[in-house]
Amino acid sequence: MIFRQLFDSISGTYSYLLASRRGGEALIIDPVLEKVDRYLQLVKELDLKLVKAVDTHIHADHVTGLGALRDRTHCITVMGEQARVDVVSMRVVEGDKLTIEGVALDVLYTPGHTDDSYSFLMQDRVFTGDTLLIRGTGRTDFQNGSARAQYQSLFGKLLKLPDETLVYPAHDYKGDTVSTIGEEKAFNPRLQVKSVDEYVDLMSKLNLPNPKMMDVAVPANMRQGLPQDEIARRGWALTATQAMAQIGDPNVALIDLREHSERERHGVIPGSLNAPYPDLAMNIRPGGVLYELACSTGKRLVFYCAFGERSAMAVQAAQDAGLTTACHIHGGMDAWRKAHGPLVH
């Protein structure tokens, strides 16, 4: 198991790099833009392949590294369903599993600090974002924060985890690095309340100044999407409506790049094949299933995913691999649904 806690001293942010083994896939939680070079250096030194970059919520105090990491490594970006970002590659909800090779995190929806706050549980440890801090809790006075919702997330979810569960927050301003659920229950001053009303009252009296970077960070963090226009300009994109006309066309192979949980929840395009994005490089090289499918049958590969990000990156990779007819569905299943495209469940 590889587990690294990385710190940005300017914003007091902790980021976490996880992988099951050297040479394997890696995931990063809450990366900070200014530290991207550092993360990528470590990824290289540990011989890892970064495949997912996750934010626990839209941060108000620093610009996220999600977009930069995606642009530089072709990893996918992940946030919760409620996050008001233009586009991320993949969205998760409570009960999902966020997976990479050898690592599975349980997804917990823990609103309160913001309405898009999530926590991620990995066996003996939980990444609590700004829901539960060490001897503190995230403020609830902006971004649709709610002390009432946070009380529920804390007392109804996080504090119900076993006492020995390690707590890894997204921030610390005092120099602490890790705690446990039992320790926080006993010693966190915010958690010594007798009722939700007492908690709401306590949170309403914090009177904290806004984060210094807030006016820059929030708008920047809401615009992380990969521009898909360049792919379209090169003629490598179909609109959802154009793609609909290709269903059943024997010269076309529709390739779903999403994961099992996304396919189950949102349905699939009839007749499409599943080839998850993490296996793309293997699938499009000579001998790989998609390469051979395209070359032996002459079929045009039409990639699709949830929002068009994975498929846009897949088109570029396929084109680079010599699959010159490859294209994707602009905007992915999101656009497909809006265009009332047929689905099978």
Contact residues: ligand GSH, CB under 6 A = 11, 60-61, 113, 130, 136, 138-139, 171, 173, 208, 211-213
Please report which helix (H) or strand (E) contains residue 52, including its range.
strand 49-54
Q: Which residues pair with 210 in a beta bridge?
A: none
One residue of 96, 130, 184, 256 binding Fe ion per CB under 5 A: 130
- Backbone phi and psi for residue 96, each to the nearest 5 degrees, phi listed first: -70, 165
Q: Is 116 among the residues that bind Fe ion (CB under 5 A)?
A: no
- Minimum distance, C-beta of residue 133 to ligand GSH, in the bound complex (Å): 6
**Which residues does residue 3 pair with via DSSP β-bridges, in sequence order?**
18
**Least CB distance from residue 132 to ligand GSH, whole Å?**
11
- Residues contacting residue 345 through CB under 8 Å, at least 6 positions apart: 264, 267, 268
Minimum separation from the CB atom of position 217 to ligand GSH (A): 9
Nearer to ligand GSH, 60 or 243 (CB): 60
212, interface contact from ligand GSH, Fe ion, none, CB < 5-8 Å by kind: ligand GSH
Give least dist CB 11 to ligand GSH, A: 6
What is the spatial distance between Cα 331 and Cα 345, in angstroms, rounded to a whole number? 20
Angle (CA) 309 312 314, round 5°: 110
DSSP 8-state secondary structure symbol assigned to residue 278: G
Q: Is 266 helix (H, G, I), strand (E, B) or coil?
A: helix
Q: 187 is in the binding site of which of Fe ion, ligand GSH, none (Cβ under 5 to 8 A by kind)?
A: none
Comparison of 59 and 91: residue with beta carbon closer to Fe ion: 59
Residue 55 touches Fe ion, criterion: CB under 5 A = no
Q: 3-class SS at 108? A: strand
Query: Is there binding between residue 25 and Fe ion (CB under 5 A)?
Result: no
Q: Left (φ > 0), alpha (ψ -120 to 50) or beta: where does 129 sit?
A: left
Q: Which stretch binds Fe ion (CB under 5 A): 34-42, 85-93, 126-134, 236-244?
A: 126-134
Output the smallest distance, CB 171 to ligand GSH, in A.
6
**Which token pair is 200?**
């709401």
Q: Which is nearer to Fe ion, 133 or 312 (CB)?
A: 133
Residues at the contact surface with Fe ion, assessed by CB under 5 A: 130
